[in-house]
Every structure is written in structure tokens, then in C-alpha cells.
């Protein structure tokens, strides 16, 4: 099979890249070992987060660091056996999270986030996926008045610096809007711009169906078989070898393993996360973050999805769903939740970089090889916007966003 471009990875990043290249007349083959949207892109809160202009920094507060070290919260967990492997990227993550460096990171990160809704919007319409999407935003809810006041102050700052829109919600109003709450909250911040998706994997699959309906090919294959073929690239698939002039690595947390074969040693690491669905007699009207505990409660087609924060561990380490169990216990303090839908929590991994920005652009040492990974918590949000940037670079167009901050050469 011949193509102009082979895209490795059929998550939100890979599928969006394939569509953006296809829009520009490229013949694209999309390759993955699983169906589109069944890996990392499946396991998230289903939010297209226009408000997420600032990535998650490494804490510099000594009290927070001590809390994490003793595993005192729900939002962060770690495997001690993984720390030697993670020491270098986490040290760099801490370095980039210092206030002066982080300010620049956030400015560069926010330029991509600013386009997330408009780039998703066109694909949602073209894919006929409107039924999956609600454009009503989501809420960060607070149990204490002190936390609420701090959250509102931060929301005002984001409004001033980035134009992020929000609305304050009082405790009484929140109780009226969410009759399923069994505990009174101090109030909430309603982020009004973001969109929510009731089945994230289904949205990726709908984008993939659009790609195929327009003549693109999706084939099952192993990205680990990627190799040089003359001046181009070759990968083995279930339908035989695919040869292309260019290849895009969009393998999320598995990108590092492949690229080491080609001599690249980028400081990548993963944050693992869990979710589980529950029967809920009185559904929430929109996704809600329990701010003090760091758990997201998102209404999905399968029930209430309870997601956890970050687990620092090796990609292939055994599942340790301690956070999921704690999250369920805390969620039951707020809502009348029924039985779990799945027997065990789902586990996935987010691909991360120490400076919190994705890697988008050409491979420094190989012509025709392109990188597109490292979106951490926001791959689902950024897929179409990030895919557009890469496609413009690959097709010789003037990039709509300055690409230098996302280049692999920064490492």
C-alpha cells in the first residue's frame, strides 16, 4: 500500500492529524494496533477545555510536596519503584514549574488552547457528531468558602490575562441546579466556554469514520515495525506493508519507546489515570470537579464517570487503582451513586514533557519523520488545533501559530 503520509496512532491526536493532512490533499494511511479512540483518548473527562490555558505545574509549595510524598491526597499517587526512572524528567518538570519559567510556558501553551473550540467545531459538524457534544461548559465546585474565594480570584485572573469566561455560582444556586447533590457546597466556578462530550472514544471514532469516508485508510498494524525504506518510511500492517514518503509519530505514551530505536532520547514520562462509571439515579447536568479532592464527576452515556488525577509510574506497571477507590468514597459523600458499571477501573496513561508543552514538528535527525505527542492532560482538547499546526508545517503553509515553542530541538 502506498501513501503520501503514514500516521502512527489513532487516538485524538493521530486521527486529527490524518484529517488535517487529508484536507490539504495528502493521501494518508492511519495505523494502530487497536480501533480509533480505544486507548488514552477514551479515558478522560470528555471536556474540550477552552479554559485550560495553564498546564498543570509541579507544586513548589512545601506543604503540597509533603502531602504528595506521604500519599495524603487523591489527586496524586506514585510507585516508589518508578522514582529512579522518573527522577530526571520530574526534576526538569519541577525546574520548568518555577514561577518565572512557568509564566512563559503558559503563554506558549495558551496559544494552542485558544483555537481548540473552533478546530473541533468544524470536525464535529463534518462528522455529524453533534449529538455527542454539549456546549454548556462545566463547573469547579468547592466545599469550603475559603477555597471558593480562592477559586473565584483565580478565575478572575484568567479572565484578565487570557480572556477565559466564567460565572460564579452560589451554594444555593448550585443546590438548585444540581438536585442530585446530597451535601451542600460553598459554591462553584462555572467555566462557560468549554464543551463536554458524553462518549470521548465515540467522538474519536466519528472523526476516524469521516477520514475513511473521504478516502483515507485505517489499517491495523504495529508501529514498532517502522523502518526506513529508501528515502521514505515503511510499516508492517495486517494488510501488508505500507510505504510512505513521510511518517508521523502520534503514539502518545508509546512514542518514546519507538523513538529510542532511532536514537532520540527525549525527557518524556507518563501520568497514569483511572476512571470508572457508576449508575446515578439523578444525573449531574454537567461535569463537576470536586476541587478540594481533585476528582472529576462527568455524566457520560455509560453513567457517571469518576476520574482520578495523576499516578506516576512506569507505563507497563501493574494497575494500582487506589485513587479510584478513594475517589468513589469521596464522590459518595456528594452524590447518591449506584453500583459500578465495570468490574474494575479503566487505566490509561497521559504522555507528558517536563516543560508541559507538546512536541510538534520535524524529527531533528530524520527527513520525512514528524513528531506529534506529549499533550499530557489535553490531547483530547488539542487534537484538531495541534493537528492543524503540524499539517501546515508538513505542507509548507505558513503556520497559524508560531511552532518554535513545540519543537523537539528545545530539548
Q: What is the pLDDT of residues 8-22, one digit of tens each?
A: 999 999 999 999 999
Domain boundaries, the chain: 1-57+100-129+196-265+355-411
* Three-state SS at 107: helix
Judge contact between 369 and 362, C-beta under 8 A: yes
Q: What's the pTM?
A: 0.96
| 105 vs 88: CA distance, rounded Å | 19
- Joined together, the cell numbers standing for residue 233 give 518510511
| 31 vs 216: CA distance, rounded Å | 11
Overall average pLDDT of the 107-132 stretch: 97
pLDDT at 64: 76
- Joined together, the cell numbers standing for residue 264 give 532520540
pLDDT at 361: 98
CA-closest candidate to residue 406, choices 264, 227, 266: 266
pLDDT at 63: 78
Query: Regarding beta strands 346-352 and 310-312, do their DSSP bridges make them parallel or antiparallel, or are they unpaired?
Result: unpaired
DSSP for 289-341, written as a single string: EETTTTEEEEEETTEEEEE--EEE--TTSPP-THHHHHHHHHHHHHB----BS
pLDDT at 295: 94
pLDDT at 351: 95
* Three-state SS at 73: coil
pLDDT category, 33, cuts 50, 70, 90? very high
DSSP for 240-299, written as a single string: EEEEEEEEEE--GGGHHHHHHTTT-----EEEEEEEEEE--SS--SS-EEETTTTEEEEE
As a whole-number percent, the residues of the chain with pLDDT over 90 amount to: 92
State the chain's mean pLDDT as an integer: 95
pLDDT at 31: 97
* Three-state SS at 64: helix
- Count of other CB atoms within 10 angstroms of residue 175: 15
pLDDT category, 226, cuts 50, 70, 90? very high
CA-closest candidate to residue 382, choices 406, 347, 410: 406
Higher pLDDT, 89 or 59: 89
User: Does pLDDT of 7 surpass 80?
Assistant: yes
- Joined together, the cell numbers standing for residue 67 give 502531602
CA dihedral (374, 357, 28, 228) in degrees, to 10, reads: -60
- Joined together, the cell numbers standing for residue 215 give 478516502
Q: For residue range 46-73, what is the model confidence (pLDDT) as tens digits?
A: 999 999 999 999 988 777 777 777 777 7
User: Does pLDDT of 407 surpass 80?
Assistant: yes
Judge contact between 357 and 279, C-beta under 8 A: no
pLDDT category, 371, cuts 50, 70, 90? very high
pLDDT at 98: 95
Instruction: Give domain 1-57+100-129+196-265+355-411's CATH superfamily.
Output: FAD/NAD(P)-binding domain (3.50.50.60)
pLDDT at 50: 98
Amino acid at each position: 500500500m502506498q501513501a503520501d503520509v503514514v500516521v502512527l496512532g489513532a487516538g485524538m491526536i493521530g486521527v486529527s492529524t490524518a484529517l488535517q493532512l487529508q484536507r490539504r490533499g495528502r493521501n494518508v494511511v492511519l495505523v494502530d494496533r487497536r480501533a480509533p479512540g480505544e486507548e488514552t483518548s477514551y479515558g478522560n473527562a470528555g471536556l474540550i477545555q477552552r479554559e485550560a490555558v495553564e498546564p498543570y505545574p509541579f507544586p513548589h509549595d512545601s506543604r503540597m510536596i509533603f502531602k504528595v510524598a506521604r500519599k495524603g491526597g487523591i489527586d496524586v499517587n506514585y510507585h516508589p519503584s518508578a522514582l529512579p526512572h522518573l527522577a530526571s524528567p520530574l526534576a526538569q518538570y519541577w525546574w520548568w514549574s518555577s514561577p518565572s519559567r512557568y509564566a512563559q510556558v503558559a503563554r506558549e501553551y495558551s496559544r494552542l488552547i485558544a483555537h481548540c473550540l473552533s478546530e473541533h467545531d468544524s470536525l464535529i459538524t463534518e462528522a455529524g457528531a453533534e449529538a455527542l457534544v454539549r456546549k454548556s461548559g462545566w463547573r469547579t465546585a468547592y466545599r469550603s468558602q475559603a477555597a471558593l474565594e480562592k477559586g473565584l480570584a483565580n478565575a478572575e485572573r484568567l479572565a484578565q490575562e487570557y480572556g477565559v469566561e466564567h460565572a460564579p455560582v452560589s451554594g444555593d444556586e448550585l443546590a438548585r441546579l444540581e438536585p442530585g447533590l446530597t451535601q451542600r457546597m460553598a459554591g462553584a466556578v462555572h467555566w462557560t466556554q468549554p464543551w463536554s462530550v458524553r462518549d470521548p472514544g465515540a467522538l474519536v471514532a466519528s472523526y476516524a469514520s469521516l477520514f475513511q469516508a473521504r478516502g483515507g485508510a485505517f489499517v491495523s498494524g504495529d508501529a514498532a515495525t517502522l523502518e526506513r525504506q529508501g528515502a521514505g518510511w515503511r510499516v508492517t500492517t495486517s494488510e501488508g506493508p505500507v510505504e510512505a514518503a513521510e511518517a508521523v509519530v502520534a503514539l502518545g505514551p508509546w512514542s518514546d519507546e519507538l523513538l529510542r530505536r532511532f536514537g532520540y532520547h527525549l525527557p518524556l514520562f507518563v501520568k497514569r489515570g483511572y476512571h470508572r462509571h457508576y449508575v446515578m439515579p439523578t444525573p449531574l447536568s454537567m461535569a463537576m470537579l470536586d476541587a478540594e479532592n481533585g476528582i472529576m464527576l462527568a455524566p457520560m452515556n455509560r453513567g457517571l464517570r469518576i476520574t482520578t488525577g495523576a499516578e506516576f509510574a512506569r507505563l507497563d506497571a501493574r494497575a494500582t487503582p487506589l485513587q479510584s477507590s478513594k475517589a468513589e468514597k469521596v464522590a459518595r459523600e456528594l452524590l447518591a451513586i449506584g453500583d459500578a458499571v465495570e468490574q474494575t477501573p479503566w487505566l490509561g496513561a497521559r504522555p507528558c514533557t517536563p516543560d508541559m508543552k507538546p512536541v510538534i514538528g520535524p524529527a531533528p535527525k530524520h527527513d520525512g519523520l514528524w513528531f506529534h505527542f506529549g499533550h499530557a492532560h489535553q490531547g483530547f482538547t488539542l487534537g484538531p488545533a495541534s493537528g492543524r499546526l503540524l499539517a501546515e508545517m508538513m505542507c509548507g503553509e505558513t503556520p497559524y501559530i508560531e511552532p518554535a515553542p513545540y519543537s523537539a530541538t528545545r530539548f
